[in-house]
Structure 1
């Protein structure tokens, strides 16, 4: 078996992903139930909320990419960064799925620099607000300042509803922009 059963009842093939099987409802539901940092936060904090935070930090034209930058995790889960760099097969599957997500939502495969930068600002903010204190330097955060606002963690239900609404709003904006 090469597929997973999604929340909407679709059989999503991990090795031959089909862009038509990618559903915003599945993404919203799954990301709202995935905890960042493999669950090692002081309280539950979802990938969906993280994606909304990243979207808050980018210009309007990059909000859709920001909301979807971790959408592959809806299908293959989240993997901690130190392990992910050693898991080449995981990276291949993630790339295949990202390609289909980009096709489905008409995104460029290369994330805008603003999204990559916002992802790091979000990480610095999450470290400050959600992680246990630790004096170690995170090399990827050297020179990155956290956002001034503190994070208030959302429940999975709040994360699902908020993320889904923001994604649908952004898809409508993109549709109108392309139709103009």
Structure 2
């Protein structure tokens, strides 16, 4: 029988990857991990962590959406950050090698794995999983955060080799606030404070 794949948390505790459980969810560990994982495969002028991305998007969220926004990338604390272009490239190669049906199956497997972790993280936070309308609202915030990060942290592409971004075709612009780099320790601290403020299970008087 194949052993359960797992990774160690920052505190050295095992996290099961195939069958995750709410008992293994520690939001302090998640805040730490998200403050360390870099977006854009590390290709920003200064590090943009998943945690910083979460803080940028939080500033663009209506109050009612903030708890769910805070968790939208929390599974990456266990599974890492796959950039959207890398996921798209994987699908393109899978289609070339094995056909569209296989590529669709592979995409379903990726989604299912992330959804397993989303489910237990939301349960530990005392939140339901978002429905379709809320997922769309979160996606819109995600794209505005992307536009903000492109403006504030990525180098402008030279005109001679410029390629379009999806956010350009959609007419999505950055938020009004200009962001500067934040140390990972500050991102971790701010993110944990937001968890304590917005996640029902972590609010004063409630057990995590």
Taking structure 2 as the reference length, the TM-score comes to 0.77
Displacement of 1:45 in angstroms is 1.4
In the alignment, does 2:71 pair up with 1:68?
yes
CA distance in 1, matches of 2:201, 2:25: 19
Shift of 1:78: 0.2
Unaligned runs of 5+ in 2: 92-105
What TM-score do you get using the length of structure 1 for normalisation? 0.89
User: Is 2:193 the partner of 1:161?
Assistant: no
1:99 matched to 2:126:
no
Could you say if the C-alpha distance between residues 131 and 150 of structure 1 is closer, same or farther in structure 2, counting changes exceeding 3 Å? same
**Aligned partners of 1:81 and 1:56: how far apart in 2?**
22
User: How many positions carry a matched residue from both structures?
Assistant: 177
Higher-Rg structure is 2
Question: Does the residue aligned with 1:38 lie in a helix, a strand or coil?
Answer: helix
In 1: Cα distance, 2:45 partner to 2:141 partner: 22
- CA-to-aligned-CA distance 1:56-115 (integer Å, 9 cap, x gap): 111112111111110010001001102224353333211211121122223332362432
**Alpha-carbon separation, structure 2, partners of 1:14 and 1:96:** 9
In structure 2, the partner of 1:148 is 176
Partner of residue 36, structure 1: 39
User: Residues 172 and 94 from structure 1, CA distance in 2 versus in 1: closer, same or farther, beyond 3 angstroms?
Assistant: closer
Q: 2:25 aligns with which of 12, 22, 40?
A: 22
Q: Moved runs in structure 1, 4+ residues, more than 6 A?
A: none
1:72 touches 1:94 (CA, 8 Å); kept in 2?
yes
